């Protein structure tokens, strides 16, 4: 497939999954609007339809909760093909949503779409309207998910991480009970190969947490302390810090000084706290179990995605070395889990496969850190995967097997973004 055909195909995926005011990640498996999918997909739309790109983010932020939280799924239309649906979450919203959040990459996306916009007037108007909402979400994070003011936010459910089934959660998840979870019928395994998806035991724990939070009325002043699952994820925190930094920069240029100043303070605190997640032994950042008070010795992509935040240059250089080591044990960068680790699984959801969105954010972080040599390798591997196996949700880093849902929106959006951002050999 040449790049022109690839671009055309990618646009087709986006328009097939476009529901007018929002985009579904893929038909069937994910029939609603997902939070960080929308922000990252907007980057793709922006290359050929700026109003549609802004609309995607506007719709997402229109469903922000009063306390500032932006939900991970918005159930715009009923659809029986997905479990757990609105009746399980019971958040009581007029347009139903889940009660947990997802990686806050929207601040980054807004700044990027704004800065390269052809329609500057529209971009300024949209940014002015969106920044206060995004800023309120960031403040919510540090208030509700870092009540002791450590500078790092915790996730209360693996689905908040966006890396739903990562090995990182295994030990902490074992401590989540399953008692009281009634019988349920999963829908994901009717759309995707069960070998690619989480196990039933894990699903029970996912649902136990949902029921627990629901029993607390989804009150975010209570959830953090009550949750038996509290994990600090370096990649997630890096996305939050980066979005705060982008909001600070853009707000300052738009004369929104209070937002700029408050955002800069959050960045400074977050960057300082990221140091506590570094492991010399592993040569990367690690997750931290806030219930146990210990780092989680699991070599996942999250500790490399940390480079999306303004981390020290020496750390970025060390993360490049880490990727070079990973490259010795796979054919396509960057595996979501170290292929030499016993828990690695090249097919199963976030336990090994490659996600283009992660590759894009890591490459972007390295570009900012001046670590440019590794970037063509990461970017070319993305395109090789698409050429070999199409616009799948994710790919096996050894065989390139396409996994999860097909015809995937953010995979296509990343291809559009990459082909328009990087200079590539034809």
Nearer to ligand GLC, 40 or 123 (CB): 40
By CB under 6 A, how many residues form the interface with ligand GLC? Answer: 7
CA distance 333 to 353: 9
Per-residue binding string, ligand GLC, 263-292, x by CB under 6 A, is ------------------------------
How far, rounded to the nearest angstrom, does the alpha carbon of residue 204 sit from its chain's CA centroid? 23
Which run of H or E residues covers position 74? strand 73-74
Is the alpha carbon torsion for 217, 223, 228, 229 positive or negative? positive
Q: Confirm whether 393 is a catalytic residue.
A: yes
Q: Which is nearer to ligand GLC, 67 or 164 (CB)?
A: 164
25 in contact with ligand GLC (CB under 6 A) = yes
CB of 393 to ligand GLC, least distance (A): 7
Looking at beta carbons only, is 104 or 151 nearer to ligand GLC?
A: 104
Whose CA is closest to 302, among 378, 358, 231?
Answer: 358
Q: How far is the CB of 386 from ligand GLC (least distance, A)?
A: 17
67 part of the active site: no
Cβ distance to ligand GLC smaller for residue 44 or 162? 162
Residue recorded with tokens 């065989």: 399
Cα 10 to Cα 177: distance, rounded to the nearest angstrom: 42
Report whether 38 contacts 56 (CB < 8 A). yes
Closest contact distance (angstroms) between CB of 355 and ligand GLC is 8
* SS3 label, residue 17: coil
Report the DSSP beta bridge partners of residue 157: none
Residue 239 or 256 having the CB closest to ligand GLC: 239
Return the residue of 17, 33, 37, 61 that touches ligand GLC, per CB under 6 A: 37
Selected catalytic residue, list 67, 79, 139, 164: 164
Q: Which of 22, 30, 45, 203 binds ligand GLC (CB under 6 A)?
A: 30
- The least distance separating ligand GLC from the CB of residue 383, rounded to whole angstroms, comes to 21
Q: Of 32-40, 226-234, 263-271, 329-337, which part binds ligand GLC (CB under 6 A)?
A: 32-40
Tell me: does residue 235 bind ligand GLC (CB under 6 A). Answer: no
Instruction: Give me the 150-179 binding string for ligand GLC, x by CB under 6 A, dash otherwise.
Output: ------------x-x---------------
Supply 58's token pair. 């506007």
DSSP-derived secondary structure for 370-385 = T--TTHHHHHHHHHHH
Kindly calculate the radius of gyration of the chain based on its CA atoms and give it in whole angstroms.
20
Told to check if 335 binds ligand GLC by CB under 6 A, we report: no
Rule CB under 6 A: say whether 34 interacts with ligand GLC: yes
Strands 73-74 and 154-155, sheet pairing: unpaired
Burial letters 215-235, b for 16+ CB under 10 A, else e = eeebebeebbeebebbbbbbb
396 SS3 class: coil
Indicate which residue of 37, 246, 289, 393 is catalytic.
Answer: 393
146: contact with ligand GLC by CB under 6 A:
no
How is 247-274 classified by DSSP, letter by letter?
HHHHHHHTT-HHHHHHHHHHHHHHHHHH
In the bound complex, what is the minimum distance in angstroms from residue 105's beta carbon to ligand GLC?
11
CB of 349 vs ligand GLC, minimal distance in Å: 7
Catalytic residues: 164, 393
- Interacting residues toward ligand GLC by CB under 6 A: 25, 30, 34, 36-37, 162, 164
């Amino acid at each position: 497939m040449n790049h022109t055909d690839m671009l055309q195909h990618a646009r087709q995926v986006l328009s097939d999954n476009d529901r007018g005011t929002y985009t579904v990640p893929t038909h069937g498996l994910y029939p609603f609007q997902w939070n960080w999918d929308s922000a990252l997909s907007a980057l793709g739309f922006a290359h050929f339809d700026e109003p549609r790109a802004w609309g995607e983010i506007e719709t997402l932020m229109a469903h922000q909760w009063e306390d500032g939280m932006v939900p991970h799924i918005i159930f715009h239309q009923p659809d029986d093909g997905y479990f757990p649906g609105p009746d399980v979450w019971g958040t009581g919203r007029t347009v139903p949503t889940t009660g947990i959040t997802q990686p806050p990459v929207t601040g980054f996306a807004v700044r990027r779409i704004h800065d390269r916009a052809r329609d500057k007037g529209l971009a300024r108007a949209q940014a002015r309207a969106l920044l206060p909402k995004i800023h309120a979400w960031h403040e919510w994070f540090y208030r509700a998910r870092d009540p002791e003011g450590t500078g790092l936010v915790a996730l209360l459910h693996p689905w908040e991480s966006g890396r739903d089934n990562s090995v990182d959660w295994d030990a902490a998840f074992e401590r989540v009970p399953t008692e009281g979870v009634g019988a349920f019928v999963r829908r994901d395994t009717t759309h995707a190969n069960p070998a690619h998806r989480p196990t039933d035991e894990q699903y029970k724990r996912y649902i136990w947490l949902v029921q627990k939070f629901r029993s607390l009325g989804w009150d975010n002043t209570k959830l953090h302390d009550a949750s038996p699952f509290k994990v600090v994820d370096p990649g997630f925190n890096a996305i939050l810090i980066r979005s705060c930094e982008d909001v600070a920069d853009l707000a300052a240029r738009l004369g929104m000084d209070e937002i700029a100043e408050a955002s800069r303070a959050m960045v400074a605190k977050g960057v300082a706290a990221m140091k506590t997640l570094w492991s010399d032994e592993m040569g990367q950042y690690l997750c931290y179990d806030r219930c146990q008070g210990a780092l989680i010795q699991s070599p996942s992509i999250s500790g490399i995605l940390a480079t999306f935040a303004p981390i020290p240059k020496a750390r970025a250089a060390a993360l490049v070395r880490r990727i070079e080591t990973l490259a010795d044990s796979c054919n396509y960068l960057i595996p979501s889990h170290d292929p030499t680790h016993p828990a690695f699984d090249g097919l199963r959801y976030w336990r090994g496969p490659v996600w283009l969105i992660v590759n894009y954010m890591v490459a972007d972080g390295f570009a900012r850190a001046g670590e440019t040599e590794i970037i063509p390798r990461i970017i070319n591997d993305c395109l090789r995967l698409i050429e070999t196996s199409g616009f799948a949700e994710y790919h096996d880093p050894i065989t390139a097997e396409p996994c999860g849902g097909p015809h995937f929106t953010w995979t296509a959006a990343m291809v559009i973004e990459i082909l328009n951002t990087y200079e590539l050999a034809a």
